[in-house]
Amino acid sequence: MLSVRRRGFFALFPAAAILLLFLVTYLREGVVTVPKLSGRLGGLPSGDEEPTFWARLPVHYPPSHIRPLPTGKPVRYPRVQAATFPVEKDPDARARRRERRAIVRDVFHKAWLSYRELAWGADELAPLSGGTKNPFGGWGATLVDALDTLWIMNLRPEFDEAVARAATINFTSTDLPELNVFETNIRYLGGFLSAYDLSGDGRLLRKAVEVGDMLYKAFDTPNRMPIARWDLHAAARGAEQVAGKALLAEVATLSMEFTRLSMLTGDPKWFDAVQRVADAMAAQQDSTALPGLWPLEVDGKTAVFNSGSVFALGAMADSAYEYLPKMAALTGGRLPVYRRMYEKAVDAAVKHNIFRPLTPADEDILIAGNAHAKEHGIELEPQGQHLACFWGGMMALAARLFGRDEDMEPARKLVEGCIWTYRAFPHGVMAEAFTMAPCPAGAVAGDDECRWDEAAWKREVLRRAGKDPDAAGSDAEADAIIKKDRLPEGFTSISDRAYVLRPEAIESIFVLYRVTGREDLPEAAWDMFTAIDRVTSTELANAAVRDVTTPETPEQKDSMESFWLAETLKYFYLIFSDPELISLDEYVFNTEAHPFLRPLK
């Protein structure tokens, strides 16, 4: 086990132990100023490391200057986690929590052992056939993505074996014609950095530098904007590159990982690269068609972030917003621009994107939807997405960090909206995407205009289906659509009926629980976990399902993305763990649920 090896290392080399203690002290400050740190930890040989393949390539468009990491004392943010957790005071409740945690761990371990036996080193295990899939470079996405989960769940022999295997990954070779920079960043770079922050094993930081050097090459463009779908083969041959069209999330979700890598190595080049993107976003935030939010598509070639009419909170935009308060936490508040961007974005989203739906029991909940800029103004598209369920947790975290107490109520209602949506579907599992009938703008709990009205719901079902709600026989036609499309009450359409093992709902329940200590939230999480495991469990692991609206058991797909082990099961495990395990006052999670150390003083 790694812990045993560390004790032996300290016994043999006291000077190395002193050095490691010194470095860990500075790691918790958030910045390490010793360059080439990776060769001096985890039993690696001392001495300078050779530059990686990607670092040795010629640079076509070097930056005119490299911005240093911010310095000075970090902001003293308020405590994020609740002062007390009432459920922890009940011995029976604590015993129940530990039992549930063990069950979650068993589900993870079963999937991990199957991956280890049948797909070791591949990106994904196919959980029905036992085959392999390689959509993320073929470098072992599940292996790297799950490293910190192994550590958190105290599966140390499995962690040691996985680190040894991960240390052999060759990031210069792949069969993919192009690389998704965003996915590579959050899974591989995020995975290595988090596992290093938790374990201190220098092999992980060395691999993080290797991945960081590779992804940094995607910024070698005339205006230093990154290429989202990147031909790394051409880059490796020395070809010149130009950034192009990209989705907002793809270019705005690199900041946490690049900044943490700079903090750990003392090399500011990665921080400088992503801060250029943030500066462009900040400069254009007030000039979009919906000031405060950015449109879905951006133009990397011209660095234009303010041209477009669709403003979403879920797919294709989600983590761009998520990283604003999290970057503030990661940098200790030394860059006020992230708080300013967040506050403008959340104020606009609450006004234009977040809505209260009509529900059968008049539940006081909120759903995060889309907004469209039209000639007559901003128009709500009342579409809910599983991906958008992270908004409640993000708002709760930011409400505590920034002292925005007024945001706690919408944060709570967004989380409860996702809990309610899970329960509304027949198997207790939420569909990927759906629409609902929104209450009139500004309606609140108790308003007559937001009370359940079956006729109003059916009219919205007809409108969503492109039918005339005033035509003769419209009520019968609405009933036919509801039956054919298997619409639970309140839902007007379901555009994607799958559940693909996503984590966003449990993520927000976990964050809200850590922030408030509410006793009902672990119970909601347990209901969610048992429902998910019931429909996704296979002989080998867990599988995505095609349609959660069917009365019979949903058909499973031969797919298990790495985030099932990296995110979903990690959040379930943590909500049933001691609240001080990965405290939100010490760590901040990237969008793939990889915890990074925050500066503490």
Return the pLDDT at 40.
29
Record the tokens describing residue 444, joined without a space: 């609140």
Q: What is the pLDDT of residues 227-273, one digit of tens each?
A: 999 999 999 999 999 999 999 999 999 999 999 999 999 999 999 99
Residue 556 backbone dihedrals phi, psi, to 5 degrees:
-90, 150
Judge whether residue 48 has pLDDT over 90.
no
Return the pLDDT at 446.
58
Q: Which domains does the chain have, with CATH numbers?
A: 2-437+490-597 (1.50.10.10)
Return the pLDDT at 540.
98
Name the residue with tokens 């609140």. Answer: 444
Mean pLDDT along residues 521-541: 98
Return the pLDDT at 10.
32
436: left (phi over 0), alpha (psi -120 to 50) or beta: beta
Record the tokens describing residue 261, joined without a space: 């890598």
Return the pLDDT at 29.
35
Q: Is the dihedral of CA 474, 480, 483, 487 positive or negative?
A: negative
% pLDDT > 70, the chain: 91
Judge whether residue 126 has pLDDT over 60.
yes
Mean pLDDT along residues 19-41: 35
> pLDDT class for 443, splitting at 50, 70, 90?
low
The closest of 149, 153, 169 to 209, measured between CA atoms, is 169
The closest of 99, 104, 191 to 139, measured between CA atoms, is 191
What is the Cα gyration radius of the chain? 24
Mean pLDDT along residues 169-190: 97
Residues 6+ apart with CB under 8 A from 399: 405, 406, 407, 408, 411, 515
Judge whether residue 179 has pLDDT over 70.
yes
Return the pLDDT at 265.
97
> pLDDT class for 442, splitting at 50, 70, 90?
low
> pLDDT class for 8, splitting at 50, 70, 90?
very low
Read off the pTM: 0.91
In the 8-state DSSP scheme, what is residue 286?
A: G
Greater confidence (446 vs 568) lies with: 568
- The answer to whether 128 and 143 are in contact (CB under 8 A) is no
Average pLDDT, the chain: 92
> pLDDT class for 50, splitting at 50, 70, 90?
confident
User: Which residues are the active-site residues?
Assistant: 183, 318, 432, 504
Judge whether residue 17 has pLDDT over 90.
no
- The answer to whether 393 and 511 are in contact (CB under 8 A) is yes
Residues 6+ apart with CB under 8 A from 158: 112, 116, 150
Residue 591 known to bind ligand? yes
The closest of 329, 385, 272 to 595, measured between CA atoms, is 329
Q: What is the dihedral of CA 390, 391, 394, 397, to 10 degrees?
A: -110
Judge whether residue 448 has pLDDT over 60.
yes
> pLDDT class for 7, splitting at 50, 70, 90?
very low
Q: What is the pLDDT of residues 483-498, one digit of tens each?
A: 999 999 999 999 999 9
> pLDDT class for 49, splitting at 50, 70, 90?
confident
> pLDDT class for 9, splitting at 50, 70, 90?
very low
Mean pLDDT along residues 324-328: 98
Mean pLDDT along residues 21-31: 37
Residue type, 159: F
> pLDDT class for 445, splitting at 50, 70, 90?
low
Residues 6+ apart with CB under 8 A from 465: 481, 493
Mean pLDDT along residues 115-127: 98
Distance from C-alpha of 349 to C-alpha of 340, rounded to nearest angstrom: 14
Judge whether residue 167 has pLDDT over 80.
yes
Q: What is the pLDDT of residues 577-593, one digit of tens each?
A: 999 999 999 999 999 99
